[in-house]
Structures are given as structure tokens and as C-alpha cells.
Structure 1
Amino acid sequence: MRYILNIPEPEQVEEEPQAIEEAQDHKEEFEEKKNEILEELTKIEKKKYNFRKIYGNLINAVTRMT
């Protein structure tokens, strides 16, 4: 009957806090990696913006020269 209702065995209930701690550790690792990736994306966006700015200035300078 336990299997039909999906009721955990008593041993599984005792292990649950450890599983919660492991899940929290994985969540913290995920958050750290996510933040690192977001920082890298921010750096790339800044470089892209600077490139467009410099390229635009270069085009304007060349246009004025002609």
C-alpha cells in the first residue's frame, strides 16, 4: 500500500534533512555560477558598447574628412 500512495519509508524520512542540505548547496553553487556568467556578460556588453562608440566616432571622423 505504501508504494501505491507513494508514502516514504521511515528510513527515507530520516535522510530528508541531508537531502535538503545537499539541495541548498547545489542551489548556492548554481547561484555563484549564474552570477559569474552574468558578470562576464556585463563585461562583454560594455566592450560591445565601447566598440560601437569608437566605430561610430571613426565613421564620423572619416565622413568629415571627405
Structure 2
Amino acid sequence: MMFNVAGLLEVVGWALDVFQVLGRNPEFFERSEVVDLLCCVPYQLLARAFTSLLGSLRFRLATHVE
């Protein structure tokens, strides 16, 4: 399925404005900040978890090698 990126960002921006007004948020977020939160943060958290998992596996394997 193909998405029009400009259209998607426009909908995200519109929804962001509506939710911030409804939530009476005193500090408005920029569209780029919201896109970063929605798209980039989950991948960064997955990368951290994967790195931690690999580190613990390497430690366990190194302790059992004779």
C-alpha cells in the first residue's frame, strides 16, 4: 500500500492541532516533533533492547566457555 507522505503529514498536523486544543495543552508541539515521536522513538527503543539482549547473551556465552 502506498501513502502520499505530504498528505499523511497534513493529516497528522491537523489531528495534532485538534488534540492539543481539545486537551488544552499550554505548550504546542511542532509537527516534526510529533513525527519523530511516532516514527523514530520506537525504533530507537527497539535498537536499545536488541543491543542489551546481545550484550547479555555475549556475557553468558563468554562465562560458559572453558
TM-score, normalised to structure 1, is 0.48
Instruction: Flag the structure with more relative contact order, 1 or 2, with Cα contacts below 8 A and sequence separation at least 6.
Output: 2
TM-score (normalizing by structure 2) = 0.48
Going by fraction, where is helix more abundant, 1 or 2?
1
Larger Cα Rg: Structure 1 or Structure 2? 1
